[in-house]
Structure 1
Amino acid sequence: MSDPNLPFRQFVLKVASRCDLACDHCYVYEHADQSWRGRPTVMSDTTIARSAARIADHARDHELSRVDVVLHGGEPLLAGRERLGHIAGELTQALTGVCELDLKIHTNGVLLDEGFCDLFAERGIKVGISLDGDRVANDRHRLYANGRSSYDKVIRAINLLRGRYRGLYSGLLCTVDVANDPVAVYEALAELEPPRVDFLLPHATWDDPPPGKPREHGEWLVQIFDRWLADGRPMSVRIFDSALRTLGTRSSLTESLGLEPSDLVVIETDGSYEQADSLKTAYDGAPATGFTVEHDSLDVVARHPGITGRQTGLAGLSDECRSCPVVSSCGGGLYAHRYRTGSGFLNPSVYCADLLRLITHIQGAVSAMDSATHALPETDLAAFAAGYGGAEAVRRLDEGQQSLRRTLVASVGGASTSVEAWRLLTLIDREARPVLDAVLAHPYVRVWAVRCLTGGTDDGHLPAIAAVAAIRAGVQASLQVPIRDGSLHLPSLGRLQVGRVAEATVETADGRFTVHAEGRGLLVDLEDPRRTPEWFPVRRLVAGGWTVSLDDVDLYRDCHQWPAAARLSGEELDRWATMFAKAGELIVRDHPRYAPGLAAGLGVIMPLEPSADGSEVSSTARNAFGAVAAALPSDAVSLALLLIHEFQHVKLGAILDIHGLYDPKDTRLYYAPWRKDPRPFEGLLQGTYAHLAVTDFWRVRRLIDEDGAAHRAAVQFARWRAQTAEAVDTLAGSGALTGTGRRFVEIMRQTVSSWFDEPVGAAAENEACQAAAAHKREWYEHRADATDRS
């Protein structure tokens, strides 16, 4: 595609230009632009067909995977069931084979009945309803022309969606009015169990400012945010979720926040293309483009100065906005709210003070929550820095990880299209939080969440997580869950082979679940899994009182440096079980300072494919706290070392999630005595910390093992104490450590320094020196070769 302009992905179809209510805060009828008066009352068949074709052509030309279409008005239900069905059919037909269609309708709800809902269920149209809170709040503005209340009819419509049409319920839209009690408004909306709530600031400009004092709207929203946060974020609130996302450098979910370019266009009932219809509040004709579906393609509209001007991000903002500390989150506010006669839209939002108050409050709340949840006591930090850390200290690390996991999953779930799954998770969170915490603690749940957030999309795994939570909590539920490669993947439980279908229905009850796909039902009883041969459960390894999962089925486990192994055979499982039991016994007996932390924090071992050359392979993943990946080594001593070594990486990764130990802007590469390649600073820190445990392991083994094994252990001890000390010196002298990092590394130095007083035979010392020197020569030769090749 040669056109340089960004494609449209959101389309608002004004299917009806009149409304059956007379809301006095409506931007269509009560603000500057009055173009509705000269437009057809409903969209004609010709305009419908042409609009659908234009959208399909645009999606095809730009290779879009999905478009979002909202049927709007006026009041779109005034178009009638037949016309709405015709519109949905035209759009579906035009886009079939081109891209996915996400179709919604936004209504005031007073006409919504079973007939409309049956149509929407048939056509896959999700429904959003406008409601300003309780009866008092709603009747302040949302009235009929004769002053009669609309409240009872709207509540009836919402209850209809909450009942047999729950799958259609997409959320509520509430216009902020500072005359209303914010907590009463929040409680009234939350009681209706909306998947999402949109709080909209009333449309205003610098020429026509909003009622109330500066910051009053921001304070109103702050009160709701605090209550929403205290309630555990029971539903998605788009303005809050967007602020949280943009503060974390992710994209906004609303055009009223963030710096993302606009990708929305409006098609009016007469086929005119318009910019965002909120611009009607600025001046008469503000949203007009002069283009129509009859004569102009969407690429032509995309080149309109009003459209391109809203796609320049930071560069398109006023000087005052660009210098603001929260500009990356605020984004200058809603474009229409910036208007002032004489300077146009090159101004801060008329709600600038309100947005600053809200965003800085959210920023502070997140910082306080992180600090309270994640901060480690100095005694724990010192114990970890020394290379150890007992069970309680590791459990405190896991508490910090749990808070982080919940935040990540909430960020995905709050914006997910899997509304029923998200609703179920919030229900279980309220009624059985420890169960949900245990489900989220599975290491590869965080891996999934991070992939969704960094990739910018929910991949549909949320229903599987919700199903596991329901199974573990004993909650009855029915969910549509995607099928991957012919299997249903339930994290921490197992994999069910169901066949080549796109999705299956999972029904949960009393620790059992039934999966319906391809006209058959498969019942899985977790107490007796052998009854279902298609079920491949996650199996367990036991060493004394310590149990870990041997997970060779998780969908997201292949996130390590080495490839994941396929499902282990019974013979392979027996070898793992035998060796793990021996390694666990050895750790408890010979290396007791590591055993409690391992038992408290290591919950999953993920089998890796053996290396081609027979060398030992093992790994951890930064986002998979509690998991170690490994190919089964040759003996129990090697497995014990592998577990102790890799768990050091697990601990330090979690510490780095809490405490900044170094400057992330340091881009230098460093010599690491255990690697052939230069390492970034965090890589050197991780390796050095792991080799504290490696050194200590061989320090103990040289006193326990016999004959040749004792000599080998002595050589390893002598080599690694010297080279770990060298690496500690490199870290300390780098200038990249923070104050906390300097204290951490100094304790590491004290640990390794104390071992130089322990005697090692001359032969072992000599071999260690030769090995260290040989490694450094090879490292420099490798670098020289790489430099020559470049």
Structure 2
Amino acid sequence: MTRPAPGTTPAPVPRPRAGPAPTPLPGFAVTSHLLRAFSSTEPGAEGTRLVRDIRRSKRLVLLRGVLDAAPGGADGETGQHWALLEEAERHAPGAVRDVLHYPATGAWAEETLRRLHEPHGPAPDLAHLGALAAAAALRAGVTFKITLRPLHGRLVLPTLGLLRPARPGPVALTERSWDPADPAVLALHSLPGGRTALDDLDPYRALGHPASVRPARRLTPKGHKRWDIQWTGALTLLERYDSTRAGEVGELLRTLVPLAGGARSTGATLPAAAGSVLVRGQTPPALAATLVHEVQHGKLTALADVLTLHTADRTPCYWAPWRGDPRPLEGLLHGAYAHLALAGYWQRAALYGARGAWARHARCRAQVAAVLPVLQAARELTVTGREFTAGMATAERAMDDLPPPGDQYATARRTVDHERRAWCGEHPELAAFTAS
């Protein structure tokens, strides 16, 4: 792994609730054509490649920030762990990329960088870089020896699983330490197809999750089997109804993190853990829709890392027809973008005869159509943001070419408008932020 050059733009520390937008990552050019393609939500090879490149660049900048800010820098223990990563990269660069660009690694890097810059806050978990280095070295097949300290009797090795040492205290790992047949080893569960993992092990898999999202603990083999069935069913439906979105899910989704049974949310995407979706167990049709929805959040987050779409803060003041609480402009834009993709997915599913798909399409489209005028009228939109929302509006209007039978869409529009008026009655101080 090539070490990011000293002096690289420091990684943007997550902004406070009402803070300004972070500085976009330098070095990326997004053409007007590509921006329009992105705004439609429709998958494309160029857009997918851009998302992956942005994620990789951001991750390397974050890791460089951790290395620079760590006590002792490149000469301390952190530097030694980084040196092991570099050695592993010389033997198997793909293996090291898999470890460093693993979704939970991003959550760890952002939190660690935040703590390094807050001297009076909790101590940063710099030892986790050693776990990353060990995982990379094991996967690369290099000879090494590293001493790590388990947490609560568990030593997690990202992308591999975890070890449960027989004795407390530090553990000396070597290239012979990882044996999937060893009862002390719990391997990360791969979902059918082998491209996406079900992560119920990594301590950073859901770091920073909202109150409505609670990750499940380690599942039983029976629990893994249930997820295998749900996942296979969902992918089968995606391939049948919308093969391009199925391909996009395969390219951009690295891990599923199962939610606990009591979690109120059906799905969530954490910006720090790019390529991961936190999701509750669902029927295959519902899971397929959740995957389409959540992957859009990841795409838009990547785009916002290189482009400034708006300058609004995090003040919640907008009505969003898919939620009851007021949303900031950023949240409204994300929700509209994800629901635009859902409207397109359900339209295609309906054309294949999926039961109830026309009604779902009409509902999602009506919700998007209701908030697009609000988004386009927002003074905080940049020129780029206006072009992006105009592209969303064009994609929404294009759905007229294949309307649902009867008056389903008109009925959905009336229902959404009734919900808007009711919400304004409950939030009169925010009524000016909704469309009339």
Alignment TM-score, normalising by the size of structure 1: 0.48
- Whether the aligned pair in 2 keeps the contact of 1:661 and 1:738 (CA below 8 Å) is yes
* Aligned-pair CA distance for 1:497: 1.4
- Partner Cα separation in structure 2 for residue 501 and residue 779 of structure 1: 56
Contact kept? 1:413, 1:462, Cα under 8 Å: no
The whole-number CA distance in structure 2 between the counterparts of 1:753 and 1:423 is: 54
Show the 5 A alignment for 1:352-367.
none
Instruction: Give me the whole-angstrom Cα distance separating, in 1, the residues matched to 2:166 and 2:328.
Output: 45
1:750: Cα distance to partner?
0.4
Matched residue, 2:335: 687
Q: Distance in 1 between matches of 2:12 and 2:286?
A: 41
C-alpha distance in 2 between matches for 1:753 and 1:453:
43
Report if the CA contact (8 A) 1:541-1:548 is conserved: yes
Distance 1:375 1:503 in 2: 47
Moved more, 386-395 or 730-739: 386-395
Matching residue of 1:339: none
Contact 1:677 1:779 in 2 (8 A): no
Kindly provide the amino acid, as one letter, of the partner of residue 298 in structure 2: V
Alpha-carbon distance between aligned partners in 2 of 1:427 and 1:458, rounded to the nearest angstrom: 25
CA displacement, residues 678-711 of structure 1 (integer Å, 9 cap, x when unaligned): 11111111101001111112222333336xx33x
**Residue 547 of structure 1 aligns to a residue in which SS?**
coil
Q: Does 1:487 align with 2:154?
A: yes
For the pair 1:463 / 2:130, whether they are aligned, the reply is: yes
The 1:483/1:647 distance shift into structure 2, 3 A limit, reads: same
Supply the distance in 2 between the matched residues of 1:480 and 1:767 (Cα, whole angstroms). 64
Residue 252 (structure 2) aligns with? 601
Taking a change above 3 Å as real, the CA distance of residues 672 and 430 of structure 1, as seen in their structure-2 partners, is same
Letter in 2 for 1:552: D
Shift in Å, 1:742: 1.2
Listed as ranges, the gaps of 5+ residues in structure 1 are: 1-229, 235-239, 251-365, 515-523
Match status 1:756 vs 2:397: no
Q: In 2, are the aligned partners of 1:607 and 1:630 still within 8 Å (CA)?
A: yes
Stretches of structure 2 lacking an aligned partner (at least 5 in a row): 15-22, 71-75, 117-122, 432-436
Match in the other structure for 2:420: 776
Counterpart residue type for residue 3 of structure 2: G
* Cα offsets for 1:378-404 (capped at 9, x unmatched): 443322211122244213211121111
Q: Distance in 1 between matches of 2:200 and 2:422?
A: 37
Contact 1:538/1:549, CA 8 A, preserved across alignment: yes
Aligned partners of 2:272, 2:13: CA distance in 1, in Å? Answer: 18
Provide the C-alpha distance between the structure 1 equivalents of 2:236 and 2:60, rounded to a whole number of angstroms.
Answer: 34
Q: Which residue of 2 aligns with 1:624?
A: 273
- Pick from 374, 382, 385 the counterpart of residue 36 of structure 2: 382
SS at match of 1:629: strand
Partner of 2:148, secondary structure, is strand
Output the CA distance in 2 between the equivalents of 1:619 and 1:420: 35
Could you tell me which amino acid in structure 2 is paired with residue 421 of structure 1? H
Name the SS of the counterpart of 2:367 in structure 1: helix
Q: Indicate the residue corresponding to 2:184 in structure 1.
A: 534
Distance in 2 of aligned mates of 1:548 and 1:668: 34
Instruction: Answer yes or no: is the 8 Å Cα contact 1:421–1:462 preserved in 2.
Output: yes
In 1, the alpha carbon distance for the partners of 2:343 and 2:4 equals 46
- Equivalent residue runs for 1:692-703 within 5 Å: 692-703=340-351
| Cα distance, 1:429 vs structure 2 | 4.2
Corresponding letter in the other structure for 1:443? P
Q: Is the 8 A contact 1:412 1:458 kept in 2?
A: no
Letter in 1 for 2:67: G
Report the counterpart of residue 746 of structure 1 in structure 2: 390
2:241 alignment counterpart: 590
| TM norm structure 2 | 0.85
- CA-to-partner distance for each residue in 1:147-167, whole Å, 9 max, x for gaps? xxxxxxxxxxxxxxxxxxxxx
Could you tell me how far apart the structure 2 residues matched to 1:440 and 1:679 are?
Answer: 33
Deviation (angstroms), 1:778? 4.6
Where 2:139 maps in the other structure, the secondary structure is helix
Please tell me the residue identity of whatever aligns with 2:156. H
Q: Are the counterparts in 2 of residues 385 and 745 from structure 1 also a CA contact under 8 Å?
A: yes
- Tell whether the 8 Å contact from 1:464 to 1:489 is kept in structure 2 after alignment: yes
Residue 506 of structure 1 aligns to a residue in which SS? strand
How far, CA to CA, are the matches of 2:13 and 2:273 in structure 1? Answer: 22
Match 2:98 to one of 432, 438, 456:
438
Give the conservation status (yes or no) of the 8 Å contact 2:258–2:279. yes
Aligned in 2, Cα 1:479/1:666: closer, same or farther, shift over 3 Å? closer
Spell out the pairing of 1:538-557 with structure 2 (5 A cutoff): 538-543=188-193, 547-557=195-205
Q: CA deviation at 1:587?
A: 0.8
Alpha-carbon distance in structure 1 between the residues aligned to 2:244 and 2:307: 23
- In the TM superposition, what is the alpha-carbon distance from 1:782 to its structure 2 partner? 4.2
**1:485/1:500 contact within 8 Å kept:** no
Contact kept? 1:497, 1:534, Cα under 8 Å: yes
CA 1:623–1:588: 2 relative to 1, 3 Å: same
Alignment-derived partner of residue 232 in structure 1: 3
Q: Is the 8 A contact 2:293 2:338 kept in 1?
A: yes
The alpha-carbon distance between structure 1 residues 600 and 376, as it changes in their structure 2 partners (threshold 3 A), is farther
CA contact (8 A) 1:622 1:653 kept: yes
CA contact (8 A) 1:446 1:624 kept: yes
**Within the alignment, does 1:661 sit opposite 2:309 as a pair?**
yes
Tell me by how many angstroms 1:746 deviates.
0.8
Distance in 2 (CA, whole Å) between partners of 1:409 and 1:231 is 12
Structure with the higher strand share, 1 or 2: 1
- Measure, in 1, the Cα distance between the counterparts of 2:400 and 2:340: 13
1:96-245, aligned counterparts within 5 Å? 232-233=3-4, 240=6, 245=10
2:379 is paired with a residue whose SS is coil
Asked if residue 406 in structure 1 is aligned to residue 72 in structure 2, the reply is no
- Cα gap change, 1:505/1:624 in structure 2, threshold over 3 Å: closer, same or farther? same
Shift, 1:763, TM fit: 5.6
Give the distance between the partners of 1:533 and 1:567, measured in 2 at CA: 15
Percent identical across equivalent pairs? 31
- Per-residue CA distance 1:48-106 (angstroms, 9 max, x = gap): xxxxxxxxxxxxxxxxxxxxxxxxxxxxxxxxxxxxxxxxxxxxxxxxxxxxxxxxxxx
2:172 aligns with one of 495, 498, 505: 505
Match of residue 644 from structure 1: 292
2:113 is matched with which residue: 440, 453, 467?
Answer: 453
| 8 A Cα contact 1:387 1:693, kept in partner | yes
Alpha-carbon shift at residue 231 of structure 1 (Å): 6.8
CA contact (8 A) 1:414 1:422 kept: no
Does 2:83 match 1:423?
A: yes
SS in 2 for 1:542: coil
User: How far off its partner does 1:440 sit?
Assistant: 1.0
Distance in 1, Cα, partners of 2:189 & 2:239 = 23
Q: Does 1:705 align with 2:353?
A: yes
Distance 1:573 1:492 in 2: 17
Q: Following TM superposition, by how much is the alpha carbon of 1:650 offset from its aligned partner in structure 2, in angstroms? A: 0.9
- Alignment of 1:573 onto 2:224: yes
> Offset at 1:376?
3.4
Structure 1 residues 502 and 407: alpha-carbon distance in aligned structure 2, compared to 1, 3 A threshold: farther
Q: CA RMSD in A?
A: 2.9
> 1:663, 1:737 within 8 Å by CA — same for their partners in 2?
yes
Classify 1:385/1:765 alpha carbon distance in 2 versus 1 (closer, same or farther; 3 Å): closer
Matching residue's letter, 2:203: L
What is the CA–CA distance in structure 2 between the aligned matches of 1:786 and 1:233, rounded to whole Å?
46
- The answer to whether the 8 Å contact 1:480/1:505 transfers is yes
Aligned-partner Cα distance in 1 for 2:415–2:217: 36
Q: Secondary structure at the match of 2:380?
A: coil
Alignment match, 1:726: 370
Verify the 8 A CA contact 1:716 1:768 in the aligned structure 2: no
1:505 deviation in Å? 1.5
Using the TM superposition, give the Cα deviation of residue 431 of structure 1 relative to its aligned residue in structure 2, in angstroms: 5.3
Q: Contact between 1:420 and 1:479, CA under 8 Å: does it hold in 2?
A: no
Alignment size in residue pairs: 407
- 1:450-489 alpha-carbon deviations (Å, 9 max, x no partner): 0011122531211001101111111111112121111001
Letter in 1 for 2:36: A
Asked if the contact 2:3–2:64 (Cα under 8 Å) also holds between the matched residues in 1, the reply is no
Larger relative contact order (CA 8 Å, sep ≥ 6): 2
Partner SS for 2:319: coil
